[in-house]
Amino acid sequence: MDVELEHVFGQCVGSPFRHVSHCQHAQLISPTTGVGAFEVSGAVNDQGQATHTFSLNPGETFDRELTIEFPYNSYAGSKTIEAQFMVQADKTSNFSVPLTLRLGLSDVGMQTLALRDGKDVIVQQTIQNYGERPIDYGSFAIFPGQARQERLVTHLAPGRTTLKRYRFSDVKVTPGMKIRVGVKELEGSRILNDEVEIQ
């Protein structure tokens, strides 16, 4: 039995405190009669179940919306998760399909640079509003072992960019050390996390 997996990504509302949720459709197309099940790490259906069962006749399509949850402090960027399948037709087949997701915000962009300045580290964070309405966010930078530094991004107009700078004074930098940065909505639960290596 051949099974094709198609995935379409969108946004859905998730827990405002512990997880970031994304919706996608899983679609299976079967040329023969068969039954089976599949599981995607971190994904649940509308009943909160992690395992999804199906039974298909030739030419039928199985289509389900899935909610995939990532930890609230996940970093932005590409994420690859595995969909595990078990299909019973003429014989039993087990296989996996990788799914690549891009975690981020569609209307907010962020680029960060962290540079040494003597015994200090300077962080430069560029934030863009790609949306159609002004945005209000809190931005932050975290250096290991130091107090979190925060800035405000208020009433950033559509199409505009703002620059936020942070200085961590008299710090010890080891090779490959990274700084965590991000922005969090002031009146809401949207958040964008990233980490950047110190140059």
pLDDT digits (tens, 9 = 90+) for 47-91: 555 677 778 777 777 776 666 676 767 777 677 777 787 777 777
CATH homologous superfamily, domain 108-197: Immunoglobulins (2.60.40.10)
pLDDT digits (tens, 9 = 90+) for 109-126: 999 999 999 999 999 999
Fold of 4-103: Immunoglobulin-like (2.60.40)
- Specify the residue for token string 């690859």: 80
Domain ranges within the chain, ordered by starting residue: 4-103, 108-197
In the numeric block, which tokens belong to residue 112? Answer: 């960060």
* HEC assignment per residue over 75-125: ECEEEEEEEEEEEECCCEEEEEEEEEEEECCCCEEEEEEEEEECCEEEEEE
Confidence of residue 98 (pLDDT cuts 50, 70, 90): confident
Averaged pLDDT score across all residues of the chain: 78
Q: Do domains 4-103 and 108-197 have the same CATH topology?
A: yes
Q: What is the pLDDT of residue 25?
A: 56
Q: Which helix (H) or strand (E) holds 132?
A: none
Q: What pTM does this model have?
A: 0.64
CA gap 108, 142 in Å, rounded: 20
Q: What is the pLDDT of residue 19?
A: 42
Q: What is the pLDDT of residue 18?
A: 38
**Stretch 84-104: mean pLDDT:** 75
CA gap 76, 90 in Å, rounded: 42
Strand partners, 198: 114
Cβ-based neighbour number of residue 136 at 10 Å = 13
CA gap 179, 196 in Å, rounded: 5
